[in-house]
Chains A and B, each alone.
Chain A
Amino acid sequence: MITSVEAALRVEPTVPRHWGSGPTVAGLLTSALGAVGVGLGLAGLLGPPRSVQIGWLIPLIGVELQLDPLGGFFMALTGAVALAVGVYSIGYARRAHLGGFALPVLPVFVAAMLLVPAAASVSTFLLAWELMAIASLILVAAEHTRPAVRSAVVFYAVMTQLGFVTILLGLMLLAAAGGADRFADLSSVPPGVRTAVFVLTLAGFGSKSGLLPLHAWLPRAHPEAPSPVSALMSAAMVNLGIYGIIRFDLQLLGPGPRWWGVTLLVVGAVSALYGVLQASVATDLKRLLAYSTVENMGLICVALGAATLLAASGAASAATVAMAAALLHLAAHAGFKCLGFLCAGSVLASTGLRGLDRLGGLARRMPATTILFGVAALGASGLPLGAGFVSEWLLVQSLIHAPLHGDTLVALATPLAVGAVALTTGLGVAAMVKAFGVGFLARPRSDAAAGAREAPSSMLIGMVAAAGACVVLAVAPAVLAVPLRRVLSELPATADSELAGLGMVLRLPGLAGSIAPGLIAVLLFVAVLVAVGVAQWGSRHRPQPATLPLWACGADDLTARMQYTATSFAEPLQRVFDDVLRPDTDVEVTPVEESQYLVAKVAYRARITDAVQDLLYTPVIRAVGACAQGVRRAHTGSMHLYLVYGALGVLIVLLVAR
């Protein structure tokens, strides 16, 4: 039986080249920028708002920058991610291929991402946003010699620029109706414009965050980009899409009406569910992580929607908890997703493999990377002791404790949202168990995986830093209590109800319920020790421990090909969610010539494509192609025809201008 699984995911391992000091300089510069970002962000979060105006930089309008708690929060997050990624990229650039032009762009990308939350006027924001988009585009194109990368770059370029157009239109409307360029001077806008700005900015920022149905670039660009770039994009850049939604829709135009909340809830829930479903059946490690980003951004969007809906329904304290959940999940996601992509990068650099079906057995060959990826996977699965647990707990608590006041909409929306969040968490566990178990445990499924070796120390330092942040967020989320409080007091939806009780034991303001993640960790450690102690009972009577072969049903030995792969591991889930995933499977049976009842060979192909992309994007792309064909037909190259066009054009102008 020949099994050919989705596209050969093997990336050619590159010959180690001598890079000189380039990687060190670029990496340290990136980290230094990250440190500056963290410092400025903390200053913005904890200190008084400060603004800077650079009049000469852009003629007429100038550049307006401001440090406030909301911007500071995102700056600090971006900076922290850049800090870890910078150090990591030194080793990565040396060990794997990081194209010559990618290295100098890395710090530029970080600087642009730090500028976005610091912008205090519409024009400055748009400038920084576009700078960030272009820098990320160049970085995605770093390995442009591979066709898959080129296709991803085109996809990303088109989507990011279309997203920019909608943001541009939305913010132009806002600035025109508000009568100012600076955020602080914007006056209130009429309801029609407000709605238009909400829809346009949600589309633009949603596409940057990978919210459905504008997520299609994310699972293409993130896997194809070099891993430090994937980490920066997935842990920092997508956050800025959420920043845009919070800043413009929830702060400047906020508090939003109820239907904004419902829209955000629906978009978020659909993104979360679709993202996690795709992640649970993905066989490419980086694609899995990219879909997990779609999932987590969806969860954050659910939290934003819940906060908006609850605040508009008069449940201020529940709204505060939901908003806190969104911000905490942003931080947690930045931590574990950064770490996840960095670990995937170190696997890729060491084995040249991204496909889980060919990995395995890394726990013995790359023990540090395995442990670090375990931390990331635990965080992403939303289980206790993981970085994502507390924020998901807060989100669910805000939903179940929403006071109803006889409100049918809230009474129907909250259980559905809880169901969506819970199913997302459950499937997220499955996706992460698959990524960790199949990718890192058991026996290697290919020679490349068998020859893996541990990442160099600079890469490990970057990963350990990210893992440290994950662990702190998991056991002591109270460290973020003060920053969260500052940000929440800035937002109109949550300004009335203060977030109290984020201590060692997390208590909810105005709601009953508490957990203590730090104590859970300590007690679990004690309980595991007790269990180990119990298992010692009777050990005096035991013979010496032995290492013996696995049970092979009486056969000689098991080969690595007999193991479950990522594809087979996810097969039950794929079958259960057949209608949503629409897998493309194909069984081809070739009988022997003499008899059709004797099978010579069976070929089985299974491919999981993005169903949403197939349904929504393919018609659009086809229509654009058809239009281009039509235009092309008009361009025959005949000079006479062009002269006729020219004459017609003049005629029309004359008629109109008459």
Chain B
Amino acid sequence: MNLMSYLAGAAQIGGVALGAPLVIGVTRQVRARLEGRVGGGVGQPWRDLRKQLRKQQITPRGTTAVFAAAPAVLAGTTLLIVAVVPLVATGSPLDPIADLFAVVGLLFLGSVALTLAGIDTGTSFGGMGASREITIAALVEPTILLAVFALSIPTGSANLGAIVAHGIDNPGQLLSLPAVLAFVALVVVIIAETGRMPVDNPATHLELTMVHEAMVLEYAGPRLALVEWASGMRLTVLLALLANLFIPWGVAGPESGGLAVAIGVIAIVVKVLILAVLLAGAEVFLAKLRLFRVPELLAGSFLLALLAVTTANFLTTGT
């Protein structure tokens, strides 16, 4: 619990909070270039946020406090996740308060807040988006928990700091069969949770195909800014978490100095940027799945996660 771990925590919260719009900007820019467009530039999401924050606060008629509070709850849960997960350094003072299950729970809490806001508008689109989002979320949950299970078997703990530290100490296990299976399952889960292709199209303008965008259709101005910022942070923190769970190098240890923390910051920025580019690059080649094909994709990832746990169980039994 030295000063450095607090500094690392602050760097990580500040970095994700400020960098999240840039990550979105990178994915959009990569996509635009691959599609032969010029693109708005990496800083465009930031300019959008600034513009939205100066616009009029609009409350749609008939909505309740749930609609008004949902963006703050979504952003709050995301900020808490950012504070808890070990992105820059392990041994954070907040590590014991929430393990990977609690993080998953907080993620869902944010989704539920937005879902309720979608229903609260009382429009067809809001309800439609909410219904689809919750269906996908319900089917994603078993996969996440099983993937967490698979990751925590070699470590003996579901606390994130312990998993990441174990990965640094035992690099061989990161390429084992259970880890690879769990990685694939988690990638599918993250795509579904953050509403990326092929589960949801973040750039869609057709209401009938929307999932995430349909729920937030009634938001405008500062509240929309909060929702978009939080969505960007969710993508960023999940990509960063994925990177650190499976490529843990560069993460500073619990008792490290300023240089190690600086390396940790640079490492996580590089990792997230690479993953964002890969994600955007892959999205160009994918078409959105029909809604009722999505459960098949999720069932596939569930099976992979189940296989990961079973193989991990038998591999630990064997050794």
Contact = CB atoms under 8 A, between A and B. Distances in A.
Interface string B96-114: 1111011001101100100
A569 B130 contact: yes
A250 B288 CA distance: 52
Contacts of A560: 122
A179 interface: no
Nearest to B223: A535
A548 interface: yes
B283 interface: no
Nearest to B298: A576
Contacts of B77: 524, 527
Interface in B12-61: 50, 53-61
B101 A401 contact: no
Contact of A384 (B59, B109, B142, B223): B109
Nearest to B121: A550
A520 B223 CA distance: 24
B244 interface: no
Contact of B102 (A384, A405, A538): A384
Interface string A503-545: 0010100011111100110011101111110110111011111
Nearest to B310: A415
A545 B73 contact: no
B256 interface: no
A537 B157 CA distance: 40
Interface string B67-109: 0000111011101100100000000001011110110011011
A117 B11 CA distance: 55
Contacts of B94: 523
Interface string B230-244: 100000000000000
A531 B99 contact: no
Contacts of B281: none
Contacts of B109: 383-385
B306 A419 contact: yes
A514 B226 CA distance: 31
Q: Which of B54, B62, B137 has the most CB of A within 10 A?
A: B62
Interface stretch (A43-51, A152-160, A430-438): A430-438
A398 to B, nearest CB: 12
B131 A571 contact: yes
Interface stretch (B1-9, B198-206, B271-279, B311-319): B311-319
A523 B80 CA distance: 7
B72 A531 contact: yes
Interface residues of A, number: 93
Interface in B108-147: 108-109, 112, 115-116, 119-128, 130-132, 134-135, 137-146
B226 A397 contact: no
A412 interface: yes
Contacts of B162: 512
B149 A400 contact: yes
B80 A527 contact: yes
Contacts of B207: 553
A423 interface: yes
A514 B96 contact: yes
Given A516-B97, A527-B76, A442 B313 contact: no
B301 interface: no
A545 B123 contact: no
B222 interface: yes
- Main SS of chain A's interface residues? helix
B221 interface: yes
A429 B122 contact: no
B246 interface: no
A343 B227 CA distance: 31
A363 interface: yes
Contacts of A572: 131-132, 135, 291-292
A571 B291 CA distance: 12
B171 to A, nearest CB: 21
A575 B221 CA distance: 36
Nearest to A547: B59
A418 interface: yes
A545 B56 contact: yes
A425 B141 contact: yes
Contacts of A434: 134
B60 A550 contact: yes
Contacts of B130: 433, 437, 564, 569
Contacts of B120: 363, 437, 441-442
A415 B313 contact: yes
A506 to B, nearest CB: 9
Contacts of A399: 149
B295 interface: yes
Contacts of B257: none
Interface string B257-281: 0000000000000000000000000
Interface in A480-506: 505
Given A516-B96, A531-B72, A573 B138 contact: yes
A534 B18 CA distance: 12
B141 A422 contact: yes
Given A441-B116, A534-B226, A423 B142 contact: yes
B174 interface: no
A538 B57 CA distance: 12
B141 A542 contact: no
B302 A564 contact: no
Given A426-B137, A563-B124, A513 B79 contact: no
A442 B122 contact: yes
A422 B142 contact: yes
B124 A530 contact: no
Given A383-B108, A415-B310, A531-B72, A564 B124 contact: yes
Contacts of B158: 397, 400, 513
B179 interface: no
Nearest to A557: B61
A434 B138 CA distance: 12
B77 to A, nearest CB: 7
B225 interface: yes
A484 to B, nearest CB: 20
B191 interface: no
Nearest to B126: A564
A534 B54 CA distance: 12
Contacts of A2: none
B180 interface: no
Given A442-B120, A523-B97, A548-B61, A528 B72 contact: yes
A652 B225 CA distance: 89
Nearest to A532: B72
A404 interface: yes
A569 B127 contact: yes
A505 B102 CA distance: 13
Given A419-B142, A441-B116, A512 B157 contact: yes
A391 B218 CA distance: 37
A433 B56 contact: no
Nearest to B157: A512
Interface string A579-620: 000000000000000000000000000000000000000000
A415 B309 contact: yes
Given A396-B145, A505-B97, A524-B80, A564 B127 contact: yes
Pairs A-B, 10 closest by C-beta atoms: A564-B127, A426-B141, A528-B76, A512-B157, A531-B75, A437-B119, A442-B122, A426-B138, A422-B145, A422-B142
Interface of B: 50, 53-62, 64-66, 71-73, 75-77, 79-80, 83, 94, 96-99, 101-102, 105-106, 108-109, 112, 115-116, 119-128, 130-132, 134-135, 137-146, 148-149, 152-153, 155-159, 162, 207, 217-218, 221-223, 225-226, 229-230, 291-292, 295, 302, 306, 309-310, 313-314, 316-317
Interface of A: 280, 360, 363-364, 381-385, 389, 393, 396-397, 399-401, 404-407, 411-412, 414-416, 418-419, 421-423, 425-427, 429-430, 433-434, 436-438, 441-443, 505, 507, 511-516, 519-520, 523-525, 527-532, 534-535, 537-539, 541-553, 558, 560, 562-564, 568-573, 575-576
10 contacts: A396-B145, A415-B149, A415-B313, A438-B119, A513-B159, A527-B80, A528-B73, A534-B229, A551-B60, A563-B124
